[in-house]
Amino acid sequence: DKKNGSKKKIQDAHEAIRPTDISLTPADVKESLSRDQFRLYQLIWKRFTASRMSDAVYETTAVRIKAGEYRFNVSASKLKFDGFMSVYKDEDDDVQTGNKLISGIDENSELKLDNLDKKQHFTQPPAHYTEASLVKTLEELGIGRPSTYAPTITTIIARRYVAKENKNLYVTELGEAVNNIMLKAFPTIVDINFTATMEALLDSVEEGTVDWKTVIRNFYPDLDESVKAAEKELENVKIEDEVTDVVCDVCGRNMVIKYGPHGKFLACPGFPECRNTKPYLEKIGVACPKCGKEIVMRKTKKGRRYYGCEDNPECDFMSWQKPVAKKCPKCGGYMVEKGSKIACADENCGYVEQKPKYAE
């Protein structure tokens, strides 16, 4: 990764996947590969090739506009040299912004006010972490290594300490409880400085400048004492089940959400007298385009998400992409989310538009 070239201990990341022969372009091997194999090879080839290329070069222009006692600023950027972007470019990369606003303006230009759009802005709370922003924070704090970031995030999601909705990570009630317990029982261990210092000590052990027995001898007694104290003093924490409006078919109680190896499911709170269970169907607030009932999010046995009608198997509607409520203005069909855009599910129609900001 070109951006990570100067990062300390970057060699601790897993070995990168690289093409064995860069001269074999995706176009050269396309006929010999399946669709999925080609797309994977194309991604690897493009990213590796881009990482060896020069940076893109932008020309940025900033303009300060004087209007009486007020000052307005506007800026624009124009791509002058593609660099690595000629091979690999993210969908959301904006190569040219705002140029229409300042084209033809020089130092002595007089501007005419056509319209003044008044907007009031309020201070916003910090945004929720995404996986990317959490990794960036871990890097800045010196916690973990590139090879441990993904497993760390996978673990906190799998243990339900956080929940992922769209791209954001939200702390769950269980996560809050565990965090409070850790802060109370192990304040030094969950301290950010301790974690970063321990990482540095382990690096020193790896380099042979510090004896590993010394590190363990200094660390373990305090940990052992804290664990024993926690076992005696900490109270048991019970997370209340989330009650739903789904009524148990057997006994009439409102069913609750439970967690199993494959995720959420509904169970009767009357267990063990009543052992009735049902699959948990997470509604997305969109009507089925075939029958008009609710679309729900489901998962395959391998954990892959898909969307189907709640009336399955009577209604066989199914989509790998998340449907949206808006109908296609071109053909009237249903539309689905595709990254930062929403598109008509009918590929023959081809209609695509930008996803509204409030929906992201």
Widest CA span in the chain: 84
pTM of the model: 0.53
Same domain flag for 37 and 88: yes
The DSSP call for residue 169 is E
Alpha helices in 159-243 (DSSP H): 173-185, 192-207, 212-233
Judgement on whether residues 60 and 7 belong to the same structural domain of the protein: yes
Q: For residue 167, what are the contacts with CB-CB under 8 A and spacing of at least 6?
A: 130, 131, 360
Q: Give the residue numbers spanning the domain of 67.
A: 2-102
Q: Tell me if 138 is assigned to some domain.
A: yes
Half-sphere exposure (Cβ direction) of 285: Cα atoms closer than 13 Å: 4
Q: How far apart are CA 104 and CA 51, in angstroms?
A: 36
Say if 17 falls within a structural domain. yes
DSSP code of residue 130: B
Q: What pLDDT does 257 receive?
A: 86
Alpha carbons 110 and 113: distance in angstroms, whole number:
10
**pLDDT band with cut points at 50, 70 and 90 for residue 262:** low
Q: Are residues 26 and 90 in the same domain?
A: yes
Q: Which of helix, strand or coil describes residue 179? A: helix
CA–CA separation, 195 and 143 (whole Å): 6
> pLDDT value at position 355?
79
Q: Assess whether 79 and 145 both reside in one domain.
A: no
> Could you give the CA distance from residue 194 to residue 179 in angstroms, rounded to a whole number?
16
Q: Give yes or no: residues 209 and 276 share one domain.
A: no
Contact between residue 230 and residue 185 where contact means Cβ atoms under 8 Å apart: yes
224 and 254 co-located in one domain: no
Answer yes or no: do 180 and 160 share one domain: yes
pLDDT score for 96 = 52
Q: Are 309 and 293 in contact (CB under 8 A)?
A: yes
61 inside domain: yes
How sure is the predictor about 336, in pLDDT bands with cuts at 50, 70 and 90?
Answer: very high
Give the chain's length.
360
Same domain, 11 and 87: yes
Q: Same domain, yes or no, for 75 and 23?
A: yes
Confidence class for position 226, pLDDT limits 50, 70, 90:
confident
Per-residue model confidence as pLDDT tens digits over 43-75: 999 999 998 999 989 888 888 888 888 888 888
* DSSP state, residue 240: P
Among 356, 348, 357, CA closest to 330:
348
Please state whether beta strands 96-97 and 162-165 pair in parallel, antiparallel, or not at all (unpaired). unpaired
| Residue 176 CA: distances (Å) to CA of 126, 130, 171, 172 | 18, 18, 7, 6
pLDDT at residue 241, as a whole number = 78
Top mean pLDDT of 43-52, 91-100, 142-151, 155-164 is at 43-52
- Residue 359: what pLDDT? 46
Q: Tell me whether residue 351 is in a domain.
A: no
According to DSSP, residue 152 is labeled H
CATH of the domain at 150: 1.10.460.10
Q: Are residues 166 and 209 in the same domain?
A: yes
Question: Please, which pLDDT band fits residue 38 given cuts at 50, 70 and 90?
Answer: very high
Last residue of a domain, one of 223, 251, 280: 280
Query: What integer pLDDT is reported at residue 288 of this predicted model?
Result: 92
66 domain residue, yes or no: yes
- For 282, residues 6+ apart whose C-beta sits below 8 A from its C-beta are 264, 296, 297
- Considering the domain boundaries, does residue 115 fall inside one? no
Residues 77 and 145 in one domain: no
Amino acid, single-letter form, for residue 249: D
**Residues 75 and 151 placed together within one structural domain of the fold:** no
The per-residue pLDDT for 2 is 46
CB 97 within 8 A of CB 120: no
**Is the residue at 328 inside a domain?**
no
User: Residue 269 falls within a domain, yes or no?
Assistant: yes
Q: Residue 100 — very low, low, confident or very high, per pLDDT cuts 50/70/90?
A: low
Boundary of a domain, candidates 233, 251, 269: 233
Instruction: Report how many domains make up the chain.
Output: 3
